[in-house]
Structure 1
Amino acid sequence: MNHIIGALAPTPTPSVKTLTVDEDSAGQRLDNFLMRHLKGVPKTHVYRIIRSGEVRVNKGRASAEQRVEAGDLIRLPPVRISAQVQAKADAPAPAREFPVLMEDECMMAIDKPAGVAVHGGSGVSFGVIEQLRRARPASTNLELVHRLDRETSGVLLVAKKRSALKNLQDQFRDRETGKTYLALVLGLWPSNKKVIDSPLFKYTVENGVGEGERRVKVVGKDDPNGMRSITLVRVARTVGPYTLLEVTIKTGRTHQIRVHLASQGHPIAGDDKYGDFEQNKILQKMGLKRMFLHAWQLKFQHPQSHRLVTLQAPLPPELKNFVDSVQPPIIQPHLDV
């Protein structure tokens, strides 16, 4: 396929392009489809051109969540990126395998480490999916089923067949999966606070380099821009002056757990966006070098056999070691911490 974004001088000014969705791409979300073709373009810009209506599907406006079908015509506006960014985007991702929690012919689940993006974009030239594709050239249909924040570790599903991708993404969209995280928060969480039902609003703040930074905040229940967001919280154990929580999300909003917990006065330890920055400095000196949020357990129906699958990713050593350094662990059979 010809490049669809102009970058290196003295290439001509980028022009409008039209892509035809092939069979292998059918069923993908529009934003994921675009990110595969607009390599090097920040995610914030991809979402911006979708929201503005510059991206068209079969001549009509479309949303980021819309799924493309084989034969759809996708209009792409002119998009220019710097020669440096283009060269970086064109460089092949280094091959890398990740710890495998389960794998069969139609899907795999990995234990994603913190600090690794799930895909390229927004200043990151590659992520988990690009590295897996490079490591497994014979697997031609590897696709992310869902996402995790770059600084969040834990269970991540990758489809190996288009049918599995659609089935699993439908389960996520219809809230048929069970996603439970482990989060260490500042302070002692009240044990009777078990449900957070607060709408969230996603907005953009300028970061000084021409692209906005994505942020989320809690808004009132009567706010027309708010998206209903539900988080269930259970105290797993206290860790000195902190609390280790099991957090199950019933809606999958951007930064939902981070914003919901912070809105209750108990931000996640090490959260550099919604956390307590002064406390984060202290925590770093104590050995916590990352945000303490881990995608611990995921329940879903297998896309082929339809049996219930429950996967767990043990707490990473850097998080377990921090907990142990603050307070010796209390053995609890339901948690591998």
Structure 2
Amino acid sequence: MRARDSQAARILGQAAPGTEIMKSNRPGRGKGQGMGRAGRAKPSSGKPSSGRPSSAKSLGAKFSGAKSSGAKRGASPHKATKRSAAQHVAPARDHLRPRIAPAPPVRDEAAAPREDQSVLLPSKVQTLAVTADEDGMRVDRFLEAHFPGLSFSHIQRIIRKGELRVNGKRADSKDRLEPGQAVRVPPLRLDAPKKSSGLSEAEEKTRDFLRDITLFEDADVLVLNKPAGLAVQGGSGTTRHVDGMLEVLRDARGQRPRLVHRLDKETSGCLLVAKTRFAASALARSFRSREARKIYWALVAGVPKPKQGRISTFLAKEEREDDSIMRIAAHGDEGASHAVTYYAVVENSGPRLAWVSLKPVTGRTHQLRAHMAHIEHPIVGDPKYFNKENWQLPGGIQQRLHLLARRIVIPHPRHGVIDATAPLPPHMLQSWNLLGLDAARFDPIEHAPEE
């Protein structure tokens, strides 16, 4: 428990003895591209109000200037004292920040040479026990992990016919497993894995590209600096995407890295990838329990007032003829989900443009883009949500989405904390230079509440 509290405390911005921090092991490039400063933050009550929630609430005093009651030593950060959204957290003190400690080495099993391990064809019923590492794993992913040569259609067929049982009962492919459960697997028509004949020239280029955009990597986790314009997953007419590229990183056992969250196609920055099924399960739990902390940078039209605040609305998907957007909805509307975002103006360039830092508490589709448009400060270059009429883009600034997934902090699946930061993409760096914005400036969003 002490190790877990230590990790959670670091994610909430609180210094804790013995915390291990794994920073990005690839240095940033260009002016002000270094690692962001660690902030101390504490959850607020974060309760959605009844009826329509407020669109943007002032946080009164600045995040960095308000007082904090602090959490009791040894107490879980999730049980911190409740308070209103107008209360804030005291600024971090440099002497309280933990020193960066190197993570214990983890053996990279994927990179280790292996003997050919042909999967035996199961000719009779098997019963597999769900381990602690597989907690929360979907039934179909469980089969895929244990039998890499099994086709997707075969997996779906045996589940649909009820041939696969969990603790003696029928299961759905999307059901999630718990440690200790018994999974009955029928005889399978399993294709033995093909022996690798080496990568093609195109695949080698893809592998080199992924290495070039890697911010952090170990045996379990990969953090990529996704470029703007590259889709994360495939779709209609999309053939080049990160998910497809990960195929070239498949290991000797047939396991390939898998996505654990998404970024919009035009959003650049930190994208977290799990290299093992154990890591995928652990990271998915961290996202579901909101232990992951994400910070985004954006260039917006106008200067938000107040300069620091909280946006709380409901969002619902609205289908259009050739596209869909997220609209502001009322509580109780069909498909509406509560969404909360903290924002802080870091610096402004006159009254027309502002550099804003954003911390999403929830993770709804297009949440940041819809929220900034809702408070009438849309993100520059947003083709879907920019709603300013007769607004001229200053000369020299590209008409591209100015949104960066700047930083991600999340418990490592095995030890310590992953803390990776992405540099400004070329088009945003160009805008920062033209407007005279200093990317090394202190980011006040560090002290925003976590909930």
Indicate yes or no: 2:279 matched with 1:176: no
Q: Which moved more, 1:231-240 or 1:326-335?
A: 326-335
Q: Report the residue type matching 2:413 in the other structure.
A: P
Indicate yes or no: 2:135 matched with 1:21: no
CA distance in 2 between partners of 1:273 and 1:229 (Å): 19
Change (3 A) 1:301 1:330: closer
CA distance in 1 between partners of 2:279 and 2:267 (Å): 24
SS of 1:286's equivalent?
Answer: coil
Contact 2:249 2:257 survives alignment (8 Å):
no
CA distance in 2 between partners of 1:220 and 1:314 (Å): 37
1:106-255 alignment runs, 5 A limit:
106-134=220-248, 138=252, 140-207=255-322, 213-240=323-350, 241-255=352-366
Change (3 A) 1:330 1:158: closer
CA distance in 1 between partners of 2:244 and 2:299 (Å): 30
CA distance in 2 between partners of 1:229 and 1:67 (Å): 26
Relative contact order higher in (CA < 8 Å, ≥ 6 apart): 2
Instruction: Tell me how far 1:331 sits from its aligned partner.
Output: 4.7
CA distance in 1 between partners of 2:185 and 2:303 (Å): 52
1:46-61 alignment runs, 5 A limit:
none
CA distance in 2 between partners of 1:200 and 1:189 (Å): 21
Change (3 A) 1:105 1:203: same
CA distance in 2 between partners of 1:190 and 1:162 (Å): 45
Larger Rg: 2
Contact 2:315 2:327 survives alignment (8 Å):
yes
Of 385, 388, 400, the match for 1:290: 400
1:263-274 alignment runs, 5 A limit:
263-274=374-385
Contact 2:357 2:443 survives alignment (8 Å):
no
Contact 2:246 2:258 survives alignment (8 Å):
no
Contact 1:199 1:229 survives alignment (8 Å):
yes
Instruction: Tell me how far 1:136 sits from its aligned partner.
Output: 5.5
Indicate yes or no: 2:440 matched with 1:321: no
CA distance in 2 between partners of 1:113 and 1:189 (Å): 27
Q: Report the residue type matching 2:268 in the other structure.
A: S
Instruction: Tell me how far 1:242 sits from its aligned partner.
Output: 0.7
Change (3 A) 1:159 1:22: closer
Contact 1:141 1:162 survives alignment (8 Å):
no
CA distance in 2 between partners of 1:214 and 1:133 (Å): 30
Matched positions, count: 264
Contact 1:58 1:72 survives alignment (8 Å):
no
Instruction: Tell me how far 1:131 sits from its aligned partner.
Output: 1.4
Contact 1:182 1:295 survives alignment (8 Å):
yes
Contact 2:216 2:224 survives alignment (8 Å):
yes
CA distance in 1 between partners of 2:335 and 2:140 (Å): 32
SS of 2:281's equivalent?
Answer: helix
SS of 1:234's equivalent?
Answer: strand
Instruction: Tell me how far 1:287 sits from its aligned partner.
Output: 3.1
Contact 1:22 1:71 survives alignment (8 Å):
no
Gapped regions of structure 1 (runs ≥ 5): 1-19, 28-35, 39-55, 74-91, 208-212
Counterpart in the other structure of 1:50? none
CA distance in 2 between partners of 1:72 and 1:215 (Å): 42
Instruction: Tell me how far 1:247 sits from its aligned partner.
Output: 0.4
How big is each residue's C-alpha offset from its partner over 1:126-169, in whole Å with a ceiling of 9 and x where there is no partner? 30121132266657321011100000000001111001001101
Change (3 A) 1:277 1:128: farther
Change (3 A) 1:123 1:330: closer
Gapped regions of structure 2 (runs ≥ 5): 1-138, 154-158, 163-169, 178-182, 187-201, 445-451
Instruction: Tell me how far 1:308 sits from its aligned partner.
Output: 2.3
SS of 1:125's equivalent?
Answer: coil
How big is each residue's C-alpha offset from its partner over 1:243-262, in whole Å with a ceiling of 9 and x where there is no partner? 11110111100000000110
Q: Report the residue type matching 1:298 in the other structure.
A: I
SS of 1:154's equivalent?
Answer: strand
CA distance in 2 between partners of 1:275 and 1:71 (Å): 53
Change (3 A) 1:131 1:293: same
Contact 2:230 2:240 survives alignment (8 Å):
no
Change (3 A) 1:67 1:326: farther
CA distance in 2 between partners of 1:205 and 1:106 (Å): 40
Identity of aligned residues (%): 31
Instruction: Tell me how far 1:283 sits from its aligned partner.
Output: 3.2
CA distance in 2 between partners of 1:277 and 1:57 (Å): 51
